[in-house]
Amino acid sequence: MADTVRITAAEAIVRFLIAQRIVVDGENKPLFPGVIAIFGHGNVTSLGHSLESHRTEIPVWRGQNEQGMGLAAAAFSKAMRRQQIMVCTSSIGPGATNMVTAAGVAMANRLPVLFIAGDTFASRLPDPVIQQVEHFGVPSTTVNDSFKPVVRFWDRVNNPAQLLSSLPQALATMLDPADCGPAFIGLPQDVAAEAYDFPTKFFETKIHEIARPRPDRNQVSRAVEVIRSAKRPVIIAGGGVHYSRAEQELADFALRFGIPVVETVAGKSSLLATHPRYSGPLGVTGTAEANELVSAADVVLAIGTRLEDFTTGSWTLFESNAQVIGINAARFDAAKHRSLAVVGDALESLNDLTNALADWAADKAWTDRASALKLELIKYVDGRTSDDGIWPPSYAQLVGLVNKAAEPEDYVLTAAGGLPGELNINWMSKGIATFDCEYGFSCMGYEIAGGWGAAMARPTGQVFTMVGDGSYLMLNSELYSSVLSGHKMILIVCDNEGFAVIERLQLNKGGASYNNMLADSLGTGSKARVDFRAHASALGATAFEVNSLHEFSSALEKARECTESVVIVCKVRPDDFSETGSFWQVGVPEVSARKQVEQARKEVDEGLKLQRKGI
């Protein structure tokens, strides 16, 4: 057997991807189960040729928009809890830059996606080529340099031999629980087609397992000492609980020691809503009950969360003297805001803490207080989601009906606008790891593309995607991708005729209504409205438009029986949002001709007095 094989750089990439395997729930599976591609002149002749040659070994799904396919890949990764990685490939120029936003989503949410974009010629002999942006003083710069701020690993392969180091390093980054995120490979057109004698060992099958770094014993000891001294401890469950597959350990830990658990947007569905210690969502998109609990806590165990401003109420939610214990595989996150860092895998850290805490338990009065607040939370959600007989309905009422119709295997997904708050508050999780609200990058357009990606990852159960009319108009093309590929989603379009949640922010901070709602948009067509049902039907989906909550529930039942993607269109109130009890810092002008703005600025300044000063 030859020690080398002479193949092109593009062929080497494909063979390497196919050779990588991973153990998922005890089953040996492809680490890269597929490629989402839009071919252009920069990737079709070499990489596209190699992918076609291996079409039975690694499937290629056709995207409609490069941003959409990247968002689908990120959602796939999240639904798989980072255990499999989707590949996205585009041509050079606009195809590549379209993927930059999707890379930002993956970067903000710490999700592994492999982006491979065509590039200009390494030789530069035919320059300038079509779609090339020239930098007069830096001729090596191409549009692919724009990926650098939004990926964990970036490389431009200027010689096929460089793949021998680049691909394993990109792979190691994406599998690293501490440094996980997207990776980018720029592939110049001449290099992609160039042949090289690659070692055959480079393409041997390799089975990967995601590492579980154990925390330092001294860090665990210090954390145990702090927890034992706590009178009012609370746990914040973040997305890292899901990625560590530590949900059962969290459930057992909270129950054993009587510590209430609140969830971030990324950590939602870490516990079932029926779990005795589940205390609701916290932060700006959380509930007053959960926020009251966190505000009273003297010790906060922040597990697998990056503690963004929507979680911390812009760092006004915690007592100034509360001790945060940061349990995270990433040192950067574990050490935030004077936290006592426990750097390690969430599952392993919880196991070590369990063993060290032994027979300790939180004060019963504190546990009882959390239970009483949970009853208030349930009462609030029941009130928000009940039918008040008024049409159109609120977001919360539609969320409640979808939640009621959902089964434990079903999955719900949303992203920007008013829906993150409504779902985070009013969705009572029936299954573990069944909730995806992309709120790290808060990317409008993620909803539909993400639904497609989640459907790829979840062969059982239904994928419910809830989207506002604004996000639907921003990026809807991957609805056709879901129809084309046969990956079914049930899409609920909530039409409030504008960007209503930003209108709410605009007005709440003293501004005048302007450029958010269709009714007050400039132009002669401001009275025109989109027929979302007809549009969805044109993209191949089965579509319903409903005019009562009874019709909505009936449409949900019919949607479950359909084999293709379904769209349910419903009007919603533009000014009926579930309230929270958390401050959020935004930039309100210090001076303004509007008295309402000046008053809003005073309220911001007052709220900032509670802001925890960190490092």
The tens digit of pLDDT for each residue in 533-544 reads: 999 999 999 999
Does 288 lie in the same domain as 248?
yes
Q: How confident is the model at residue 337 (pLDDT cuts 50, 70, 90)?
A: confident
pLDDT digits (tens, 9 = 90+) for 363-379: 999 999 999 999 999 99
Does 540 lie in the same domain as 420?
yes
- Which range of residues forms the domain containing residue 355? 217-376
Does 252 lie in the same domain as 174?
no
Q: What is the 3 state secondary structure string of 76-136? A: HHHHCCCCCCCEEEECCCHHHHHHHHHHHHHHHCCCCCEEEEEECCCCCCCCCCCCCCCCC
Q: How confident is the model at residue 1 (pLDDT cuts 50, 70, 90)?
A: low
pLDDT of residue 526: 85
Into how many domains does the chain fold?
A: 3
SS3 content of the chain, % helix, strand, coil (to 5): 40, 15, 40
Does 259 lie in the same domain as 135?
no
Give the SS3 label for residue 8.
strand
For residue 599, is it within any domain?
no
Does 78 lie in the same domain as 175?
yes
- In the numeric block, which tokens belong to residue 592? 């303004």
For residue 436, is it within any domain?
yes
Q: Which amino acid is at 196?
A: Y
Tokens 């009874």 sit at which residue? Answer: 550
What's the predicted TM-score (pTM) here? 0.97
Q: What is the 3 state secondary structure string of 349-391? A: HHHHHHHHHCCCCCCHHHHHHHHHHHHHHHHHHHHHHCCCCCC
Does 317 lie in the same domain as 290?
yes
Does 28 lie in the same domain as 74?
yes
Give the mean model confidence (pLDDT) for residues 28-54. 98
Question: CATH no. for residue 224?
Answer: 3.40.50.1220
For residue 582, is it within any domain?
no
For residue 585, is it within any domain?
no
For residue 579, is it within any domain?
no
pLDDT of residue 276: 98
Instruction: Quote the CA–CA distance of 157 and 190 in Å, as a whole number.
Output: 11
Does 59 lie in the same domain as 86?
yes
Residue 429, pLDDT above cutoff 70 = yes
For residue 330, is it within any domain?
yes
Q: How many CA atoms lie within 13 A of 203 on its CB side?
A: 18
Domain boundary among 168, 189, 208: 208
Residue 590's closest CA among 600, 577, 576, 578?
600
Give the mean model confidence (pLDDT) for residues 179-203. 98
Question: CATH no. for residue 499?
Answer: 3.40.50.970
pLDDT digits (tens, 9 = 90+) for 487-527: 999 999 999 999 999 999 999 999 999 999 999 899 998 89
Does 547 lie in the same domain as 440?
yes
Domain boundary among 376, 403, 437: 376
Residue 449's closest CA among 459, 438, 441?
438
Does 108 lie in the same domain as 224?
no
Domain boundary among 143, 174, 208: 208
Give the SS3 label for residue 424.
helix
Give the mean model confidence (pLDDT) for residues 76-92. 98
Residue 574, pLDDT above cutoff 80 = yes
pLDDT of residue 612: 87
Do you find a cis peptide bond into 94, omega within 30 degrees of 0?
A: no
Does 429 lie in the same domain as 548?
yes
For residue 581, is it within any domain?
no
Note whether 336 and 326 are within 8 A (CB): yes
Residue 615, pLDDT above cutoff 90 = no
Residue 360, pLDDT above cutoff 70 = yes
Instruction: Quote the CA–CA distance of 203 and 15 in Å, as a whole number.
Output: 6
Does 458 lie in the same domain as 358?
no
Task: Using DSSP bridges, classify how beta strands 27-30 and 20-24 pair: parallel, antiparallel or unpaired.
Answer: antiparallel
For residue 615, is it within any domain?
no
Residue 562, pLDDT above cutoff 60 = yes
Average pLDDT, the chain: 97
